[in-house]
């Protein structure tokens, strides 16, 4: 959505990125995050503490990555107006988890921008109303501690971001559900989605066999 206003700019902001293609994103929407993780060779797991703020939340879309100074959410506000419709903001907060980086106002802004979701390695607030907004938020939890807006602090938008041992690149495919969040490399996303679809079909057949009386020991030749 264009307002005619200038977009945020600066030496650490990348505006144009290559994104995973729309057809792959659409196909991934029907697949569990855990299945995509397994199908890709057990890759892409974001920290397990990051979970949906509301149980019904699900996220799927290309990553717009944000490295934010701890205890400051100015770079999240900037990222709102760099991201395109359908994009998922993937935010690292430099280890300062216990702040409310996001809330009702920012979810309203993200909905107005038609973004795809937020995945943040920190806390958010206004948890009682975020579900009503319907904008999918995945976070470490809830925290009422306020954030600052330091205009002299350095952050990055659309650069590689490190979550524990996982590097998320801008444009990677992000999928999250009640089990957690997975990031799939853009170059492999279509292949992994196809493998995940085959895995889901195979597992459906296994479930039918077990429901018909077979044991897991024989099904898997344990």
Predicted pLDDT of residue 118: 98
Residue matched to tokens 């979701």 = 117
- Is 105 contained in some domain? yes
Range of the domain at 213: 22-219
Q: How far apart are CA 149 and CA 128, in angstroms?
A: 24
Could you count the other beta carbons within 10 Å of the beta carbon of residue 198? 10
Alpha helices (runs of H) in the chain, residue ranges in sequence order: 22-28, 33-39, 74-80, 104-112, 127-133, 189-211, 216-219
Predicted pLDDT of residue 4: 73
Q: How far apart are CA 48 and CA 213, in angstroms?
A: 34
Q: Which residues are annotated as a binding site?
A: 103-106, 125-126
Predicted pLDDT of residue 82: 98
Q: Which residues are annotated as a binding site for Mg(2+)?
A: 126
Q: What is the CATH classification number for the domain harbouring 196?
A: 3.50.30.40
Q: Which residues are annotated as a binding site for substrate?
A: 103-106, 125
Based on the structure, what is the number of domains in the chain? 1
- Is 104 contained in some domain? yes
- Is 153 contained in some domain? yes
- Is 186 contained in some domain? yes
- Is 15 contained in some domain? no
Average pLDDT per run of 10 along the chain, which is 222 residues long? Answer: 78 96 97 98 97 96 98 98 98 97 97 98 95 95 95 95 97 98 98 97 95 94 92
Predicted pLDDT of residue 2: 54
- Is 5 contained in some domain? no
- Is 128 contained in some domain? yes
- Is 28 contained in some domain? yes
Q: How far apart are CA 19 and CA 171, in angstroms?
A: 4
């Amino acid at each position: 959505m264009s307002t005619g206003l200038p977009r945020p700019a600066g030496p650490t902001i990348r505006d144009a990125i290559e994104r995973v293609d729309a057809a792959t994103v659409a196909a991934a929407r029907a697949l569990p995050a855990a299945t995509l993780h397994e199908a890709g060779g057990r890759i892409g797991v974001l920290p397990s503490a990051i979970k949906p703020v509301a149980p019904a939340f699900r996220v799927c879309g290309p990553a717009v990555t944000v490295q934010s100074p701890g205890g400051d959410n100015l770079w999240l506000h900037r990222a709102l107006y760099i991201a395109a419709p359908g994009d998922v903001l993937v935010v690292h907060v430099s280890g300062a988890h216990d702040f409310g980086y996001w809330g009702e106002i920012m979810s309203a802004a993200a909905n107005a921008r038609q973004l795809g979701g937020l995945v943040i390695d920190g806390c958010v607030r206004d948890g009682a109303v975020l579900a009503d907004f319907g904008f999918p938020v995945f976070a470490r939890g809830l925290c009422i501690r306020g954030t600052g807006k330091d205009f002299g602090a350095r952050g990055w938008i659309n650069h590689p971001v490190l979550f524990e041992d996982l590097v998320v690149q801008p444009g990677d495919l992000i999928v999250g559900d009640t089990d957690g969040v997975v990031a799939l490399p853009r170059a492999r996303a279509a292949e992994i989605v196809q493998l995940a679809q085959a895995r889901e079909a195979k597992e459906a057949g296994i479930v039918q066999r077990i429901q018909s009386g077979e044991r897991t020991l024989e099904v898997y030749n344990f």
